[in-house]
Amino acid sequence: MKYMLLMKYEGGAACDVPMGEWAPEDITTHLDFQRSLGKELAERGELVEAQGLTGPELARVVTSDGRSAPVVTDGPFPESKEFLAGYWIVDVESPDRAVEIAAQASAAPGPGGVPIQQPIEVRQVMSVPASDS
């Protein structure tokens, strides 16, 4: 079953300091954690895709009525914390496993090595129905 695990820029209950302001060794620890989580998921055959998105400062929001020129809004955005920072797509045996992975990701170490408690949104990816009846 495929799930998308989404992370926004909102930070977590135990950290709302942007990474550029952490201690260098805390950054390294955090990156090592992410890397080894990705590696673990890959080795278990669960990792489909993982991407980081470029920052909200580079984002543009586009709306169009199909007729006139599209409206393109540039940052900075007041609600930038709501923007997606990145996602994993995992292929797992059960919904519980998706939650387990998300919990691991949420507890990534932050400043002082303290788990961030970042909220991770877990969404099942729509798939083909099991039968056509």
Partner 1 sequence: MAEVGEHPSEGLLRELAPQALAVVARRSGDFAAAEDAVQEALLAASLRWPTEGQPDHPLAWLVRVARRRLVDEVRSDAARRQREETAAAGEVPGADVADRDDTLALLFLCCHPSLTPASAIALTLRAVGGLTTAEIASAFLVPEATMAQRISRAKARIRSSGVAFAMPAEGERGEAVAAVLRVLYLVFSEGYTSTAGPELQRVELAAEAIRLTRMLRRLLPDDPEVGGLLALMLLTDARRHARTGPAGELVPLGEQDRGLWDSGLIAEGVELLTESLSRGAVGEYQLQAAIAAVHDEAATTEDTDWPQVLALYSLLERTSGSPMVSLNRAVAAAMVHGPATGLSILDGLDIPGSPLAGHYRLDAVRGHLHEMAGDTDAAVRDFQVAARRTTSLPEQHYLQTQAARLAHAGKAEAGRARAADAPPPAPPSKPEAQPGPGTREGAGTDGSSTGS
- List residues binding partner 1 (CB under 8 A): 18-24, 26-28, 31-32, 35, 42, 52, 54-55, 57-58
Q: Which is nearer to partner 1, 35 or 123 (CB)?
A: 35
Q: How are beta strands 71-74 and 60-63 bridged, if at all?
A: antiparallel
User: What is the Cα gyration radius of the chain?
Assistant: 18
In angstroms, give the least distance from the CB of 108 to partner 1: 14
What is the crossing angle of helices 24-43 and 95-106, to 10°? 160
Cα distance between residue 53 and residue 72, in whole Å: 19
Q: Which is nearer to partner 1, 103 or 125 (CB)?
A: 125
Cα distance between residue 5 and residue 87, in whole Å: 5
Q: Which is nearer to partner 1, 54 or 68 (CB)?
A: 54
Identify whether the C-beta of residue 106 lies closer than 8 Å to the C-beta of residue 34: no
Quote the tokens at residue 71: 């409206």
In angstroms, give the least distance from the CB of 4 to partner 1: 17
Considering only CA atoms, which of 103, 84, 104 is closest in space to residue 34?
A: 104
In angstroms, give the least distance from the CB of 54 to partner 1: 5
In angstroms, give the least distance from the CB of 96 to partner 1: 28
Q: Which is nearer to partner 1, 87 or 99 (CB)?
A: 87
